[in-house]
Structure formats: structure tokens, C-alpha cells
Amino acid sequence: MNSILTPDSTLQRFSKPGAARFSLQRRVAASLLFALCVFVVNSESFAQTTRPAIVAAADWGSNPQQIADSRKHTPKYITIHHAGVLWTGEKTPVEFVRNMQTWGQKEKAWPDLPYHFLIAPDGSIFEGRSLEYEPDTNTRYTLAGNIGVEMMGNFEAQRPSKAQLESCAKLVAWLCQDLKLELKDIRGHNDAAPNQTTCPGKDFYRYLVDGQFVGWVTALMKGENVEITPGPPLEGGPTEEIPTS
């Protein structure tokens, strides 16, 4: 004979200690599941770009000196540079990075590379100074808060390659997403140090001035496919693209 459930019998059933514990466990499990779903949705909504391939400092043979704790900082700006030295392809990117580190340590008393990332003409990205520390510079501005991104070449005299532009945009998009930096705080070295330098060179700075670079970064952060194509030569600007090999 089937038992008949009445309101009173149902109340008695779920009033038992074991039933109460089971009900509480279900509520806790449901709450955890809901929180997990919210986390996944938010992650998918906001984490749309991925970390680009970066050659680790240990892999290219970095030999940094100790940096004082007083130089630790919290990143706020992404400040973009060019090397300011004509790229001829006579040295490999690895040789260039190693030579810059050695030169800075001997001639400038810099403990490490002055930049946090360096981008070769072929688009390879090299890890430089740890993001934990402020960069170094030949100019005068507040260094704390700046992430230094340098592209090899002299963009007053030669044009950045398509691969450099793509890698720079991908790197900056990832940094903005990962460190929660504002798009308005992407700038050139000359913005940070007015009237002191033409860095990052007219044939890259153009993309900061017209907003195209920030547009590329914004689209990448949204997970969109972006066609990054160098613009035509500027009037009175360089016409030869940097050699990539």
C-alpha cells in the first residue's frame, strides 16, 4: 500500500536532523555551483586575449645584477620605445639583447636591461627586466609605474615590420588585460619625457597619435581577429622597412 504524503508528514520528514543536514548540503552545493558559473562567465567575458610567446630571460642568457628593493613598483603605464639604433641585421636579436644588457651595466650602471620587453624585427618578444622593478632611461621622468616595451630599430630612419607591430599589439593587449591597465595609459617614450626625445620614432608614433594602435589592442582584448597592416610611408618619413632577417 502506497503511503500518502500530507503537509504534516512532509514537514515531519524534513524536520528530521538527517534531512535538515541533507537540505543544507544541497543549498551549499547549489551556491558553490552558481558562484562557479558566474566566475566562468566573467572569465570568458573579460579574458579574451592570451599571453603571446615570450623568450624567457633565462633562455637568452640574461645575467642581471641585483636591483634594490626601493625600485620595486606597481605598473600603471605601458611606455613604448624604439632602440634608436639602425637595425641592419648584422647581429641576431639575442646578441643585441645581450649586448644591451652588458653595455648598460658597464656604461650606465644599470643593473639589468632598461626595458621589460624587447621586440625583434621578426616579431620575437624577449623578456627583459622583471616587471617587479621600475625601468631605466636616458631621459628624465618618473620611472615608477612604467612598463618599458622596446622595439629594435630606429623608426626615424626605418619602418617597423608588420611582425613587430603585431607582436607589440598582442603584448600590450595581454599586459592591459593581465595587469588591469587602462588603455589611456598606453603611450610613447616622448609622451613620458616631453621635449627630450623623438622615441619611439615617427613611423611608430603615428599609430599612437591616430589611435590605430589602441584600436588594435582593444580589438585583441575583445577576442576579435585583427588585421594589423603598416600604413603607407609618411611624408618626409622613412620608406624602407626594417630587415627581418
CATH of the domain at 67: 3.40.80.10
Q: With pLDDT > 70 as the criterion, what percentage of the chain qualifies?
A: 81
Residue 191 counted as domain residue: yes
What pLDDT is attached to residue 180?
A: 97
Is 82 in the same domain as 166?
yes
Q: Which of 169, 160, 153 is closest to 78 using CA atoms?
A: 169
In a domain, 157, yes or no: yes
From 11-25, 60-74, 205-219, the region with the lowest mean pLDDT = 11-25
Confidence at residue 164, expressed as pLDDT on a 0 to 100 scale: 98
Asked whether residue 97 falls in the same domain as residue 35, the answer is no
Of 238, 51, 57, the C-alpha closest to 153 is 238
Residues 77 and 113 in one domain: yes
> How many angstroms separate the CA atoms of 79 and 191, rounded?
8
Same domain, 126 and 174: yes
Query: Closest Cα to residue 192, out of 176, 208, 214?
Result: 208
Residue 164 lies in a domain: yes
The tens digit of pLDDT for each residue in 129-173 reads 999 999 999 999 999 999 999 999 999 999 999 999 999 999 999
Please provide the average confidence, as pLDDT, over all residues in the chain. Answer: 88
pLDDT at 19: 47
The answer to whether 181 and 122 have CB atoms below 8 angstroms apart is: no
Residue 126, in any domain of the structure = yes
Residue 28 and residue 77 in one domain: no
Q: Are residues 16 and 105 in the same domain?
A: no
Asked whether residue 2 is assigned to any structural domain, the reply reads no
Q: Quick one: pLDDT at residue 26?
A: 63
- Residue 84 falls within a domain, yes or no? yes
pLDDT at 172: 98
CA 226 – CA 219 distance, rounded (Å): 7
Is pLDDT above 50 for 44? no
What pLDDT is attached to residue 245? Answer: 84
Asked whether residue 95 falls in the same domain as residue 199, the answer is yes
Element (H, E) at 192: helix 189-192
Q: Over the stretch 216-235, which tens digit does the pLDDT of each residue have?
A: 999 999 999 999 999 999 99
pLDDT of 79-135, one tens digit each? Answer: 999 999 999 999 999 999 999 999 999 999 999 999 999 999 999 999 999 999 999
Residue 97 buriedness (CB in 10 A; 0-12 / 13-18 / 19+): buried
Task: Note down the domain range covering 14.
Answer: 7-46
Domain count, the chain: 2
Find the helix or strand (DSSP H, E) in which 209 lies: helix 202-209
Regarding whether 79 and 25 lie in a shared domain, the answer is no
- The residue-averaged pLDDT of 233-238 equals 96
In tens, the pLDDT along 195-213 reads: 999 999 999 999 999 999 9
Same domain assignment for residues 33 and 147? no
- For residue 23, being part of any structural domain is answered with yes
